[in-house]
């Protein structure tokens, strides 16, 4: 099991060192398989010959919610295509054959989902990474994929912007609400739709899932709305609260102490997460309860009523 130390240049700015170093290493090795990122909430990165072809995290919408929540594809059409194509691993071809997406449209949506998921994982932080070379490819993947170094440059560019939004009080945990500006401020249709979801209870992630838009573009538009005086940020919840819930605690002690991230090849296989079911968004202020375990305390969010 090889250790992945966080680069000195990344410390203090973000917690993306494990993610970026893993992408760099596996890209150079022309790795094929899945990288499982342990974080809050973490996620997965699928690679083929060293290229990033898919990424998934509960912190950001994947291809399915991006298509369905935005209204680009109806749920009935998606279900029909999924039923016909998913069992044989040809969901992409089925979507194109049914005229629901073009070849270019598939690449646009898959690449956008990859970039957004990588940004979300980097923003939330990654503690450790485990590589699984035997994991099957996802149903919807970018072809040929994104070069690892290019993906890292995009991650860092987006993190720099997210860092600048902190001056406005905006973070992934923020719960913005509308504000009454002193004067009239023009707002385009896309930002007006976003503003309609801003109610002091939803986080940027909640709004992204509700609209079928990526986390990064939603946060970018929120920053503009806050700067224009059309939205403001509610104070954070109690210490330890997360807009995105932590994964379930492990059944045994962790192999790596905090502050010493590692990456390794798994000696056992594990079933991949279901590709077709997006993480359920919250509707309103989530309820939390504290549960003590043998690990560090976590706050779990109950699903909405």
Q: What is the pLDDT of residues 172-211, one digit of tens each?
A: 999 999 987 766 677 888 888 999 999 999 999 999 999 9
User: What residues have CB less than 8 Å from 17, skipping those under 6 apart?
Assistant: 4, 5, 6, 7, 10, 11, 261
Q: State the pairing for strand pair 262-265/33-39.
A: unpaired
Which one, of 169, 214, 198, 196, lies nearest residue 59 by Cα? Answer: 214
Report which of 60, 35, 34, 169 is spatially closest to residue 121, judged by C-alpha positions: 60
Indicate where the chain has its CATH 1.10.10 domain(s).
166-233
Are β-strands 2-3 and 33-39 bridged in parallel, bridged antiparallel, or unpaired?
unpaired
- 15 band by pLDDT with thresholds 50, 70 and 90: low
Neighbours of 294 (CB within 10 A): 9
Q: How confident is the model at residue 282 (pLDDT cuts 50, 70, 90)?
A: very low
pLDDT at residue 51 is higher than 50: yes
Among 53-62, 122-131, 134-143, 183-192, the least confident range: 183-192
Q: Six-digit token pair at 21?
A: 């170093």
Q: What is the CATH number of domain 166-233?
A: 1.10.10
So what's the pLDDT on residue 185? 75
Q: Six-digit token pair at 295?
A: 């690990």
DSSP H helical segments within the chain, as ranges? 17-28, 63-68, 75-85, 91-97, 103-124, 148-165, 189-195, 204-211, 215-227
Backbone angles phi, psi at 220, to 5 degrees: -65, -45
Q: Give pLDDT tens digits for 63-109.
A: 999 999 988 999 999 999 999 988 888 888 889 998 999 989 899 99
Using a 10 angstrom Cβ sphere, with 0-12 exposed, 13-18 middle and 19 or more buried, the burial of residue 263 is buried
């Amino acid at each position: 099991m090889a250790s992945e130390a966080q680069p000195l240049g990344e410390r203090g700015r973000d917690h993306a060192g494990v993610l970026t170093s893993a992408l760099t290493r596996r890209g150079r090795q022309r790795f094929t398989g899945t990288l499982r990122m342990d974080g809050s909430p973490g996620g997965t990165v699928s690679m083929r010959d060293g290229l990033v072809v898919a990424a998934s995290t509960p912190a950001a919408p994947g291809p399915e919610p991006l298509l369905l929540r935005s209204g680009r594809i109806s749920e009935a059409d998606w279900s029909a295509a999924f039923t016909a194509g998913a069992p044989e691993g040809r969901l992409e071809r089925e979507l194109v054959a049914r005229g629901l997406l073009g070849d270019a449209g598939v690449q646009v949506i898959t690449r956008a989902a990859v970039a957004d998921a990588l940004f979300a994982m980097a923003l939330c932080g990654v503690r450790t990474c485990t590589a699984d070379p035997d994991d099957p490819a996802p149903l919807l993947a970018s072809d040929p994929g994104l070069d690892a170094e290019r993906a890292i440059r995009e991650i860092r560019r987006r993190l720099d912007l997210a860092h600048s939004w902190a001056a406005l009080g905006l973070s992934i945990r923020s719960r913005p609400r509308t504000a009454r500006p002193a004067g009239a401020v023009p707002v385009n249709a896309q930002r007006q739709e976003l503003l309609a979801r801003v109610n002091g209870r939803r986080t940027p992630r909640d709004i992204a899932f509700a609209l079928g838009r990526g986390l990064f573009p939603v946060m970018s538009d929120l920053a503009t709305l806050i700067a224009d005086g059309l939205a403001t940020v509610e104070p954070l919840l109690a210490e330890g609260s997360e807009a995105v819930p932590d994964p379930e605690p492990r059944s045994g002690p962790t192999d790596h102490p905090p502050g010493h991230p590692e990456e390794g090849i798994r000696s056992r296989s594990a079933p991949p997460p279901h590709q077709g079911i997006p993480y359920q968004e919250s509707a309103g202020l989530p309820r939390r309860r504290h549960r003590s375990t043998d690990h560090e305390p976590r706050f779990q969010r109950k699903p909405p009523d």
